[in-house]
Structure 1
Amino acid sequence: NPFNLEYRIIRPDGSLRYLESRAEVAYDTQGKTIRLYGAILDITERKQAEIALKQSEIRYRAIVEDQTELIARYLADSTLTFVNQAYALYFRRSPEELIGSNYQPIIFEADRERISQLIASMNADNPVVIIENRVLVADTVRWTQWHNRMLFDEQGCFIEFQTVGRDITALKQIEEKLFQEKELAQVTLQSIGDAVITTDAFGRIQYLNPVAESLIGCSEASAQGLPLLEVLRIVDEITREPVQNPIEQALQSNRIVGLANHTVLINQNAQEITIEDSAAPIRNREGQIIGAVMVFHDVTENRKLSRQLSWQATHDALTELVNRQEFERRVEQALHLAKLDYQVHALCYLDLDHFKIVNDTCGHLAGDELLRQITTLLQEKIRKTDTLARLGGDEFGVLLTQCTIEQALRVANELLLCVQKFRFVWQEQVFSIGVSIGLVGIDANNESLTEIISTADAACYIAKNRGRNRVYVAQINDQEQLQRRGEMQWASRISQALENDWFCLYAQIIVPIGPTAKNGVHYEVLLRLHDEQENLVLPMAFIPAAERYNLMHLIDRWVIRTLFSNWSTLVGDQQSIYAINLSGYSINDDQFIDFLHEQFILHPISPQRICFEITETVAIANLRKARQFIEELQRMGCSFALDDFGVGMSSFAYLKSLPVNYLKIDGSFIRNIVENPVDNAIVAAMTHIASVMGIQTIAEFVENDAILEQITALGIDYAQGYWIGVPQPLS
């Protein structure tokens, strides 16, 4: 067989040469070797070139394989011809899997067409293209950047593409975040309600947002590069003096600064705008100041509203007089001056006498108009240095500064006279209005504002009690005044008691004694108060004050709310009827029925278990209202008792108009029924009439067995009193 051998020889000079022998063997006809013929070529230069090329390729492969960049080569049809280890590891596939395959599926589908167009645009004049695209790596999408290069042979013919890539997902995320932050900042600056101005380190304008353009009256383009003071003119609202440039202050002091109050911007259109602002330096990473930013906003309406709210906080909206809070502040200031400089002042407390008649007859609109007209009338009679205030409702206060008690009395009498002469006309009705005035002096001897106000209020109350339409001058150690003050103190204590649950409930048993008694044992719910020292206080100590200061309806509601919410604890399963006393204030309260409905909804208590009591005098005071009230409660299922019956002037006549279930005969008739035949006759008459009308009777103040026997003989249905049972805590 012919052969081809490559081998090395060492020549005599010691040099190494590469030879290639090519030979064939010739045979005779018998198959014997005749000769060997061929050629020997010196291939040393070729071999050295091959060795150098192989070594170069080894070094190239080592460099390529050691790179962290993703390196690949591919043909024009996208077939991969080479990938380095980093490329294979990145896509989590072996080089054998990748080489010979099409790289297009690796690319995120939405980017494929764009990449194909960019690759197609490459040519000899444009052999390099940098592409950023997304790729799929184990079902996740990553961002990559590729340097694509065309490779050519020595003759300039295209061989294949080479690409070097790197993962830029983190960079893209940072870019996206920065872009979002920039967009957010830009949108924020464009859309916030504040004006924003930025300048360079020399105070030259670089940026205005739309609000700043609007307030200043010029565009960003026209303002750019100008010193701030050429564009922004700000002055003090009161002095009209220029205000120091806040940008300049921030740059000089290297800190955040704010505008002083009452700063006004005069814009390019000569409009005045009240502004509030702050300015701050802008620093680079090294902490060097490279500019400043000023943020300000229009507070014209806010400032106007603030002034309005300030006025409203110290004035009465209806009469535009100062209100109680401001009046008391001025009285306190007068007291301070009295103690400091021994000045003397005076205070008048005025209460209109017939205001309620106008309000009830003609309505609140008429009442409001009356108050406005009275205000004008009173203002004409006092000095500009004095203060007239509306203290609430139909009550007014007058602070007479630098005025002795004698001078003040003359002023008070003038006020009294002018109100006396005044006639209020409303829709052809004419009303005479009086006024009761309490007068008190203010000097160094007064202890406090509270003392002055309470003394004046007490004096006014005394004037009203003495027949109205008069002036009462408060005197030291005045017994009436002390009593009045006591009531005022009780009013405060009652409010505290309601807030702190100092009240407690008692109950007194009412037992059936007659054969016609329809129900079993009853109980009357009674109120007691624990004072600050935990002493038990009976109702008559605080009820007058509660009535005077319109607190009775709150007490009534407290009793009902407390009884109902603790029903299972206080009452339990017994089927007795519980009687609750109501004041005239609750009967006249239009919301009371709704309150009661709400309580029955909140608490599963049968209305048949509840009886309400009102006094005869309360019922007679507003007979029509009382009748409607009783009927409404009876429709709910409650029963009704008329308390203290017999003390009125025409009890029997009114009884016909009141559909009550029980009649509680006043204790003044029961207490002496055994000894006094007149009382006995009156109680007998009451019992007979009640029986005819189908009303059950209850005798109060049953204090001994003789009384019990007597009322039983008269046919009274129920008995209540200390002989029957003393009041016990309801528990």
Structure 2
Amino acid sequence: MILPSKKEKRTTSSMGKFVFLSVTILSLIAVTMLEILGVGYGYSSYQNELQDIKKNLIIKEQENLRGEIYSVAYQIKQNYLSQYKNFTDGIRQKALDGTKLARDMQGGQNREQTLKKLKIEFENLGDENYLVYDYKSRNLLFGKDSGAHVLALANNALDKQAAIMQSSVGSQNILSFATAYEPLNIAVIYSKDIDKFNAKFIDETKIFIKNLALDQNKYLFLLDKNSDKILLSNSAELENNRYAIFNQKRNEILNQLTSLARFDTKEGFLTYEWSKNDGTRAEKLSFVKDIGVLGLVLGTGTFLDETDKLATAQRQELFNDFVYKIVIYLFYFCIVVLLILMSAKYIKNMFDRSIAKFSEYFGERENTGGYIASDEIEFTELQTIAQNINEIIREKERLNFEKKQSAILLAQYKNSIDSSAVVLRFDTRDMITFVNGAFCELLDVSKKQLIGKPNEILLNKGLNYEILKQISQKIWAKHEWQGVIKTYKKDGSVCSLKTSITPILSGDDEILEFVCICQDITLLIAQQEKLQNHLQDPLTKLPNRQALIDKLNEGEGGVFVANFDILKFKQINEYYGFETGDLILIKLSNAVRRLMENKNLELYRLTNDNFALLGREPDFNKESFFKFCEQVIEYFKNEALGIKNNKFYIDLAFGISSDMHLITAEMAKDYAKETKTPIVVFEEKKDKLISNVNLTQNLKRAIEEDRIVLYKQAIVDNTSNQVIKYECLIRMIDEDRNVILPIDFLGIAKNSNLYQKLTDIVIEKSFKHFSQNSDEFSINLAIEDILSPKFLEFFKAKLQKYENIGRRLTIEVVEDEGIENFDKVNHFINEVRKFGCKIAIDDFGTGYSNFEYLMKIKADYIKIDGSMIQNIDENEESRKVVELMVEFTKRFGIKTIAEFVHSNTILNTVNAIGIDASQGFYFDKPKPLEA
């Protein structure tokens, strides 16, 4: 045994000391950095929370104030509406009671006798609010008021325009209701002072507010924004005074509070300095809201000094928490440092003991000199290892010759095994000699079941004969065979193995055995099959859009692409249901497959009712591909698809492109739908389609930049020659400020999902403009809008927002396709008529507009199409058709409007026929709304 020298004993623990110091220093640095980061993050969080305390408290106060005001304001407004209704109902009932009294007094006497008695009866009632107007003498039979409003009320009553009417008599504002009693030729009017009603309501509101229970630090105040007056305050000296009598500072604050209620939001917050009950001044936060009746503004507020105290307390609490966290951090830091030192010491001792044992083990070998210069190595432990390695090298050289044959075999085994852990060996008699554990585990069999048995688990009868033949030829020719073999597990499930079979040769180049290295790729194949399913439409089992894109990306030339849609498929889904729609898609795809038989064509389903056909040269050229698309269209026009006792004749729209781009085929298809053309070839309409794309982009930018504007054109009454309403006409302003007519962009809008946005703009801009005046107006709505439940809700919301706008609105129904569901149309009409809207049929006499259409829609107006009017003075046939229209509509009380009236001659002819109103350049050219 070679014992270590004294020098070696002194250096035995040198590496241990190095490890100890390294672990200790690196650990301390890491822990210290983590401690610094933790404290820094804690301090940053502390600063952020410190800044948010006051802001969060104020936000909470604002929410409390708003909630209190909203609740009280709602109660006040509801109370006013209820009392006002009772007030007006009482006036109406009094007037009706007076009429009843007149009817009861008549009783077979002549008029003069009855009127005398009636006057006496009214005088006996002792109610000075009654007025009785005599139409015959044009004087008051009873009552003292002789103002102009009496005559207006009486005339309204005679015209059966019964309504509450407000008027002024001197300094008094009154509400009146009048009823006519025609047998006596009189009007009974009852009036009451509305100012007294309002004053009483305000007094009751003040009492209501005073009785509310609020926090000690809060109170409600009531302002009148119409007269800039304080109606209610917690201070008696402020109540019932106008702002102007107070000092400048207080006056400014009150005006600012009132101004908040005049903004669009009708409410707002204000922070200002105000006197408390104890006479001290403090910062105050107030919230005011316009109640919505009589110009009343309700407000409340709270002084922020209590908020400041609460914020200070929270800051102190936050600071204490931060200090506590710092102390905890330091405590844990000390514990971690102690643990590091103890762990490093423990590791050092373990390392020293291990190295000592390692040196002792190798020190037992005889030192016969070595090949490594061990004396140049610095550490004793590594010097000992080097000496022993030299011994191993010498021993290895001695054995090399004996193991030369084994080394050759091991090298060949290694080359085969390195690529996989699933291994099988069989000999030249095809008997299995070895399987590893991974092979047994994969196929769920034991080594005992395989070793010594024929190799049927890999080279099984299920393999194709050609594959077995190929394997045999390869391996017996001393070449490696690679491929995929499918075998079976114990439970019968298939296992796919990527297999390499290598012949093992002796030194004499003779085959000793065969090694099979396998890799399980069952999951990989399953994933490939799943990926293939992702390229298939689950409903029709056709390849999908991604499959088509992949095919086109392969870049093979001579490809024709056809993109086609089912026309009106959306209506089929809505009317018959999606189940019927799916069955139509399946039957259509099966029918097209049959038409494609024995033709080099591929069919794809892209989305919903959108399909694509792919044809290739030389089987197809441009003409033959076009002809096949025509055959498909004709087939579905003549052959109905039977679904659930219903027959569907399908119309298709095709777009064809030969540039291998799906997008160009889709553009051509969209143009076919727009122009109602069965088939459009992209190359033939390329310039037009690209122009449409550019126009679509221009239209999008115009919408985004608010360059969609409205024009108006007057509609004139043919009897009075007065303007009765305006039709709103849409225009687009291009980037060069040119005005673009709707004929140039509405069709594009419908095919690019922009039409609804244009409709929304027309409604918003027309409602906003005409809400600021008293003119009547009309807008055009397409039948697609009318049939949409979502649009109906949107339209009703706009009618509610712009109160009473519906009474001045006429909706012109624009129809470019036949209506299949008049129930939905009439539902829309009934809903909008609740708001007072009228209905007109536009372009009557052309397209789908006919008398049956007119009777089902029940319109208020028809607008006779300009094509029937523009030459009516010269075309006798047009005149006769228009005369029949007018005669028909008059029988049903429907008014008529002539379009395209451009000359005095046309106007005279229109008047002679009896048309009620006219529209055209003769009266007015379209001009901007503001003109």
Q: TM-score, normalised by structure 1?
A: 0.48
Whose strand proportion is higher, 1 or 2?
A: 1
Compare CA radii of gyration and give the structure with the larger one: 1
Q: TM-score, normalised by structure 2?
A: 0.39
